[in-house]
Structures are given as structure tokens and as C-alpha cells.
A = this chain, B = another copy of it.
């Protein structure tokens, strides 16, 4: 049974605050091990990557075998069923269409002084996408990371995906092919992150690394941050469902469980003004937990981190949701668009009873890489912006410099930065003397 709270309870605020502060993840301290691995790869390159892959993935590779050949990829892709291929293609097409709309416009204008101002977006030149091996090797995540990169215009896009014992996921290779990935390396862990950041004889370094991974991968990404860009460090997944009115409790139960089945430290929360609906959903979850393949994982998540909160109103539910700032927010209510207006912090909103969160994981179009652990208070899901950067532009005319230069010189003097001031004053002096 999950926690059952009501905003009418005297101890509600204390219990809700405790729920917000719950630590759901024990990250093992692998930082020293990761630092050593990175140093190995930096100093010994391919040889270190090959040794570490043999040790951790039980896989013997030659330098020329670090990357899949096109023929190897073709052979693996041929194993994918037509139904799976069609589903992946639909997902890729919809994700591409959504992210194309995100592409921002450049701008350039003249202000009243005659100065030209503006900005220009340019893509990151090369990006590396980490894809976990084993159970968490999701082809959908390959699409969600690679497609925004290609839409942004990244020229060189590579994937690192470990193949423990040689086990390959053909769907991951197909997703990479569909998304336009240039090279797939069969390496993983901190050694893969180090190779992508610093390069080796066979692996050209990239400028940005994205994608999920285990504690070693996360620690390695933190360490190489600055040398290259990284995306967010994702925590365990979470969903908050706000429900009211005549809803199907089983649908809501399945939506809650679709987060819970990811990970025992995932979190699923139901918030509703309707206590009978709350109890019906809890019963539906119990029933589903009897048969779900991942019932142990989902059950542990629901028991340890799940919560059901009964509120006085939908507005109160929205206000509580804003304090949680959930990664995924479902609004299973009569007027989801109206309620969405009250939401200030959420990674993604799923509107109405016909929009289960799982649609967003695969084929909706928006990205499924979203801010976890309440970080939707200050950050956003993955997008084309993660693979673009903005260069600001400024061009003064002599008249513009005469108009605003003196103020710059005044402020430079206030900040005791003499050369700053002189760089403006020398030009103003020449202009005032009519010299070039």
C-alpha cells in the first residue's frame, strides 16, 4: 500500500513535505573508480578502452572492431520484425516532426542609435549518445536523443552502446540507423564516456554527450562536463496523475504502474478530490500487481514511494503538483486544458483520459527525456536547444558608438577597468577629430 494523505489531515503539511524530501536513490560512490578509468583512457587510448571492455563486458575487441561495420548493422537490422520496424519508423517520423517545430529563428535588428544587434543559432559540431546495454537498452531513447541532434544540424553523431558478452539489441541499431547516426561503438561505461570526451586513435572526440546510464556513466559525465557539454543527469522516473470526474480506475492504475515498472525507485502519485476514485485506483493497482511481469519492481516502487493524496479541489491538486514539479503529469479530468493553465512546473503534461503517459514515451512526438527529481522547477526536457548554441551579435556605427560609448566608459571607470574604458574613448576621440 502506498501512503494515503488528505489535505484535510492536521499532519498533511508535514507528511507532504516529507514526501517531497524523500531520497529515492542511493547513488554508490564510484567517483574514484571513474576518475581512474578516465585517466587510463586519456593516457592509453584505444588500448585502455579495449582492456576495460574485456574486463567489464567480457568482450574481446580489436581497435578496428570498436565500431560496428555497416554490414554488421545490416545483418542485425534484418532480424527486426516488420511490425517493430514500422512502429519505430512511425515514432521517428513523429519525433522528427515535433522537434522540427522547435527550431528557433535567428534575429537581427537595428536599434534607434543605428546599432545592429541580434543572435544566431549554430549546431554543436559533433555529439555522442550513450545507450545503456542490457535491460535498459531502449531503442525509443536512441530516437529521443538522436533525432533532436540531427534536426539541430549536428554534423557527426555517434552512439556508444555496450554489448556485454557480445549481446546486441537489433532495435537499437535500427533506431540509430533511422535517426541518422553515423557510427555505433560497441563500448560502454565510464570508458565510453572518456573516449567520447577525449578521443582515442580510432574514436574522434565529440563536443556534447547525452543519454542515460548507470552510476559509472553518470559520474563520468559529471567529470567530463566542461571539456564537453552534457545533458541532465537523470534520476529515477516519476509520474503524478491528477484525476477527477468519471474516470476508469484501471486506466489510471496502469499509468501509475507504467512508471513504477521502470525502477523500484520510481515514484507514482495520484492526486484527486474524489476519495472514492482514489480507493478504486488503489484497488485496481493491487489487481494489476498480481499479474504484471515486472510486479516485483512496480510493487516495490508503489509500496515505498507511491502516494495517494485526496484534496479539497482540483486547484488544490494543481498547487500540490506544482510543489512536486513532476517529470510526467497526467490530467485525467473533464477540462484538462483549463487545469493545465494552473500548472507552473512539470516536465510534460498529458491532457485527458486518452493520453496515457506511455504515448509520450514512444510515438507522441515530444521528447521523453525529461527533468526528474523535482528539477522541472528549473529545467526542461531534451530538445533541439541541447544541440544548438546561440552567438550574440553586435555592430556599432560611429553614431551608435557616440551615443552609448560614453556610458560604457563611465561604467568601466567605476569598475576600475581602464583598458575597457580606453578602448571606447580612443575610438570616440578619433571620431570627434573626424579621423578614421
Contacts and interface: CB of A to CB of B under 8 A. Distances in A.
Interface stretch (A47-55, A176-184, A384-392): A384-392
A74 B171 CA distance: 65
Contact of A424 (B359, B389, B404, B426): B359
A107 B117 contact: no
A19 interface: no
Given A109-B101, A208-B378, A254-B422, A392 B366 contact: yes
Smallest CB-CB A-B distances: 9 pairs = A229-B378, A366-B392, A351-B395, A87-B407, A254-B423, A358-B420, A257-B419, A87-B410, A356-B423
A417 B135 CA distance: 10
Interface in A383-431: 383, 385, 389-398, 400-401, 404-408, 410-412, 414-424, 426-427, 430
A197 to B, nearest CB: 11
A151 interface: no
Interface string A322-360: 000000000000001100100111111111111111111
Nearest to A386: B378
A238 to B, nearest CB: 15
Given A124-B378, A377-B124, A246 B436 contact: yes
A226 interface: yes
Contacts of A88: 411
Contacts of A139: 411, 414-415
Interface of A: 83-84, 86-88, 90-91, 94, 97-98, 101-102, 104, 107, 109, 111, 115-117, 119-120, 122, 124-125, 135, 138-140, 171, 207-208, 226, 228-229, 233, 246, 248, 250-251, 254-255, 257-258, 260-262, 288, 292-294, 298, 336-337, 340, 343-367, 370-371, 373, 375-381, 383, 385, 389-398, 400-401, 404-408, 410-412, 414-424, 426-427, 430, 436
Copy total for this chain: 2
The interface centre, meaning the residue of A86, A377, A420 with most chain B CB atoms within 10 A of its CB, is A420
B417 A354 contact: no
Contact of A407 (B86, B354, B390): B86
B343 A418 contact: no
Nearest to A80: B414
16 contacts: A94-B404, A139-B411, A139-B415, A258-B420, A261-B417, A292-B418, A294-B416, A337-B395, A352-B396, A354-B401, A355-B396, A356-B424, A361-B412, A362-B412, A363-B411, A371-B389
Contact of A389 (B102, B356, B376): B376
A146 to B, nearest CB: 15
A416 B394 CA distance: 53
Contacts of A364: 115, 117, 394, 396, 404
Contact of A348 (B83, B208, B394): B394
Contact of A394 (B107, B229, B257, B350): B350
Given A251-B423, A358-B421, A398-B354, A411 B380 contact: no
A416 B391 CA distance: 43
Contact of A344 (B125, B361, B378, B426): B125
Given A207-B377, A421-B358, A91 B394 contact: no
B377 A125 contact: yes
A168 to B, nearest CB: 14
Nearest to A412: B358
Contacts of A260: 419
A53 B358 CA distance: 50
A122 B344 contact: yes
A129 B351 CA distance: 35
Contacts of A250: 426
Contacts of A125: 344-345, 377
Contact of A408 (B98, B292, B359): B359
A321 B171 CA distance: 40
A305 to B, nearest CB: 16
